Amino acid sequence: MKNNAALAAMLVYLASEDTVRMSREKRTVFALTPSGQPGAWPECRDAQRSTPSLVPAPPPPPPAAPRP
């Protein structure tokens, strides 16, 4: 909690010293669709539950040399 308060204080100080002001106008997150309806967040998809192997399989051993 102490570190969070210190970080917040540092960020507030840096913001107070910044000479460039941020706009206070409300921002439109989603533009209107062609039908005139407001945009929406994309639908959630199922999570990927399998991953490819990160370690390649070892190569097969070399064939044994024939004995004379």
The string of pLDDT tens digits covering residues 45-54 is: 888 777 776 7
pLDDT of residue 7: 95
- Residue % of the chain over a pLDDT of 70: 97
| pLDDT computed for residue 64 by the predictor | 83
Give the alpha-carbon dihedral of 7, 12, 16, 21, to 10 degrees.
110
Q: Report pLDDT for 14.
A: 92
Strand, coil or helix: what is 32?
strand
Q: Give residue-wise pLDDT tens across range 11-29.
A: 999 999 988 888 888 877 7
The pTM of the full predicted model, rounded to 2 decimals, is 0.34
Residue 53 and residue 68: Cα distance in Å, rounded? 41
